[in-house]
């Protein structure tokens, strides 16, 4: 799928606060939020990513009561409603694009939690944990001809290594999906 153009949906207080959906390459990705008590009398939002089969151009609605998703991933509860889903070609050596899910965990100096969902050799969707990264949510970027998109972030190993957090200057780090591993 060398000519595949990635699709991106951000959901948070400023963009699509209730979520939304993307559809491409036979897959529909929906992002929604569940409200949960936070234990202190307030509420937290928990992102939910669901993958559904869809044919290109298929505008048929999905029923949560009668239809079964191919995959359901429930993210971490957080006071910060900030997540994204991206349908993107991360591994050009397989038959189709992957689905990237990034969620902000909240907290000081913290974290974009990134998970990539890919179709394995048996046709089942599997999660690949890309890790937790300093800062806000981020999509895959930086297309390299013939190698798919990459996760462009900072090398967290350099935070606090030679100085305080504010004095740290971590170098860029580029991560790729190869099979079921982030390298």
Question: What percentage of the chain carries pLDDT values higher than 70?
Answer: 90
State residue 72's pLDDT score.
94
State residue 63's pLDDT score.
55
Closest to 116 (Cα-Cα) out of 103, 102, 137:
102
Residue 49: pLDDT band (50, 70, 90) is very high
Exposed e or buried b per residue across 117-127, where buried means at least 16 C-beta atoms within 10 angstroms of its C-beta: bbbeeeeebee
Q: How far is CA 95 from CA 78, 111, 118, 140, 179, in A?
A: 34, 31, 10, 18, 11
The predicted-structure confidence for 124-146, as pLDDT tens digits, reads as follows: 999 999 999 988 899 999 767 76
Residue 50 has pLDDT above 90, yes or no: yes
| Residue 98 host element (H or E) | strand 98-104
Q: Are strands 125-134 and 111-119 parallel, antiparallel or unpaired?
A: antiparallel
The predicted-structure confidence for 146-163, as pLDDT tens digits, reads as follows: 667 999 999 989 988 899
Supply the pTM of this predicted model: 0.88
The predicted-structure confidence for 58-106, as pLDDT tens digits, reads as follows: 555 555 555 789 999 999 888 778 999 999 999 988 889 999 999 998 8
Supply φ then ψ for residue 51, to 5 degrees.
Answer: -110, 135
State residue 55's pLDDT score.
61
Contact call for residues 113 and 132 (beta carbons, < 8 A): yes
Contact call for residues 133 and 114 (beta carbons, < 8 A): yes
State residue 160's pLDDT score.
87
């Amino acid at each position: 799928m060398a000519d595949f153009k990635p699709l991106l949906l951000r959901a948070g207080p400023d963009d699509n606060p209730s979520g939304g959906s993307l559809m491409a390459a036979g897959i529909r990705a929906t992002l929604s939020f569940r409200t949960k008590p936070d234990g202190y009398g307030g509420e937290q939002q928990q992102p939910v990513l669901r993958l559904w089969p869809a044919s290109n151009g298929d505008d048929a609605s999905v029923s949560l009561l009668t239809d079964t998703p191919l995959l359901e991933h429930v993210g971490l509860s957080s006071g910060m409603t900030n997540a994204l889903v991206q349908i993107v070609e991360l591994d050009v050596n397989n038959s189709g694009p992957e689905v990237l899910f990034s969620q902000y965990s909240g907290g000081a100096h913290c974290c974009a939690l990134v998970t990539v969902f890919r179709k394995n050799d048996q046709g089942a969707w599997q999660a690949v944990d890309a890790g937790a990264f300093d800062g806000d949510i981020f999509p895959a970027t930086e297309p390299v001809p013939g190698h798919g998109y990459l996760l462009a972030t900072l090398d967290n190993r350099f935070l606090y290594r030679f100085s305080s957090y504010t004095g740290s200057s971590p170098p860029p780090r580029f991560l790729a999906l190869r099979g079921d591993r982030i390298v």
